[in-house]
Amino acid sequence: MSSIRLTNITKRFRDIKVFENIDLTIHDGEFFTFLGPSGCGKSTLLNLIAGLEEVSGGKIYFDNQDVTHLPPAKRDVAMVFQSYALYPHMSVFDNIAFPLRIKKMDKGLIKTEVERVASVLGLHDLLDRKPRELSGGQRQRVALGRAIVRKPRVFLMDEPLSNLDARLRIEMRAELKRLHQKLGTTIVYVTHDQAEAMALSERIAILNNGVVQQCADPLSIYSRPANTFVASFIGTPPMNIIETVVIEKSSPVLSLGKKRYKLARADTLNFERVLLGVRPEDIEIKPFSREGIEGIVEIVEPEGARFLIDLVFDGISLKAISDESFKSGDKVYIEIPEEKIHLFNCDTGERIEITYK
């Protein structure tokens, strides 16, 4: 078990800078995720921690040991990839046993260890099979088993569930979480899937444009996104973000199309314009209301337990989620609860903290 500290990490491929001055600490035993769009450098960062890539600048520590220039084999990490990378000609047993055989562990001990891991992962009845005789989910479990059997200081997982279909992905997600609770080993996880990151992680670092946009626990990221990138990246459908003019600053009133939106409880807002964010699940739609904004239902998408609803008023489009169904063309009233709104700086996209009276 180990904590991991990245200090001032910079990585360039020739003259292309992937990221610069990354500083963060992953705690001992933590389930920590790097989340970001494809190409933002997640795999590169994981490879730096594994020692598969060299840093261009900065240092990496495991606990207090400087591992920056240590080769992968000496770092005592186990990696699990999207492609399972199993040996096709070997049985499940031999695949899991492989790292222990390399260590020249005693045969009897290998058997005990492989069986222990197989029972943790529910692979007991499959030990004699070859990888081609397994489903995708079973193969990924074998790949996990091969990582676990080594009892590494740290697990590094690069989109390990991406090759699985949607249903299996959700099943394996719960299994990974159970596994982490059982083993308590530090896991550094990489994904582009925000729902997966939210479900699994104790903390998430969101990467974009070579910069950590926010690093916090899932609920803080959801409820207080640091900027518009994070706000739109987390949550499905993404947060609605509307440009508004600040009509009154001292007891703030914003323009919303031709309507006005009063922040009844907020203190002075010293901006000319702001971006107003509201999540689809925080919008309330009512057939009748005195305070709401009058709008029209454009599209309704049933999801079973809830409905995704596209609304429009004054040329502004909003996505909402409702328990109630409406029909396309319905006239409705849209309520945006003040305590649910987010404000962002129009120029920088940074979150503006609302101060209340």
Ligand X SMILES: Nc1ncnc2c1ncn2[C@@H]1O[C@H](COP(=O)(O)OP(=O)(O)O)[C@@H](O)[C@H]1O
Closest contact distance (angstroms) between CB of 134 and Mg ion is 24
Distance CA 65, CA 75 (A): 10
13 binds, among ligand X, Mg ion, none (CB under 5 to 8 A by kind): ligand X
Check: CB of residue 83 under 8 Å from CB of residue 131.
no
Cα–Cα distances in angstroms (integers) from residue 263 to residues 213, 222, 250, in the given order: 28, 21, 10
18 binds, among ligand X, Mg ion, none (CB under 5 to 8 A by kind): ligand X
Per-residue binding letters, 9-28, with ligand X (x by CB under 6 A): ----x----x----------
Closest to 156 measured CA to CA, from 61, 82, 94, 208:
82
Sign of the dihedral through C-alpha 325, 195, 233, 27: positive
Pick from ligand X, Mg ion, none: which does 40 bind, CB < 5 to 8 A by kind?
ligand X
What x-and-dash track marks residues 33-72 binding ligand X by CB under 6 A?
A: ---x-xxxxxxx----------------------------
* φ, ψ dihedrals at 282, nearest 5°: -100, -10
Distance in Å, CB of 73 to Mg ion, minimum: 22
The nearest distance, CB 190 to ligand X, in angstroms, is 7
Select from ligand X, Mg ion, none the partner in contact with residue 95, using the beta carbon and a kind-dependent cut-off of 5 to 8 Å: none
Nearest distance from C-beta of residue 33 to Mg ion, angstroms: 13
Cβ-based nearer residue to ligand X, 15 or 323: 15
Of 130 and 192, the one with the shorter C-beta distance to Mg ion is: 192
**How many residues in the shown chain lie near ligand X by CB under 6 A?**
10
Rounded least distance, CB 12 to Mg ion, Å: 17
Residues in region 39-58 near Mg ion by CB under 5 A: 43
The tokens describing 279, both together, are 């999540």
6-45: contacts with Mg ion (CB under 5 A): 43
122 binds, among ligand X, Mg ion, none (CB under 5 to 8 A by kind): none
Residues comprising the chain, all counted? 357
Which amino acid type is present at position 255?
A: S
Query: How many whole angstroms separate alpha carbon 46 and alpha carbon 156?
Result: 7
First to last CA, the chain: 47
49 vs 123, beta carbon nearer ligand X: 49
Which lies closer to Mg ion via its Cβ, residue 9 or residue 149? 9
| Closest residue by beta carbon to Mg ion | 43
Q: Indicate whether 274 belongs to the interface with ligand X (CB under 6 A).
A: no
Longest dimension (CA), the chain: 77
Q: How far is the CB of 159 from ligand X (least distance, A)?
A: 8
How far apart are CB 61 and Mg ion at their closest, in Å? 24
Whose Cβ is closer to ligand X: residue 13's or residue 87's? 13
Binding residues for Mg ion (CB under 5 A):
43
Q: Which positions touch ligand X (CB under 6 A)?
A: 13, 18, 36, 38-44
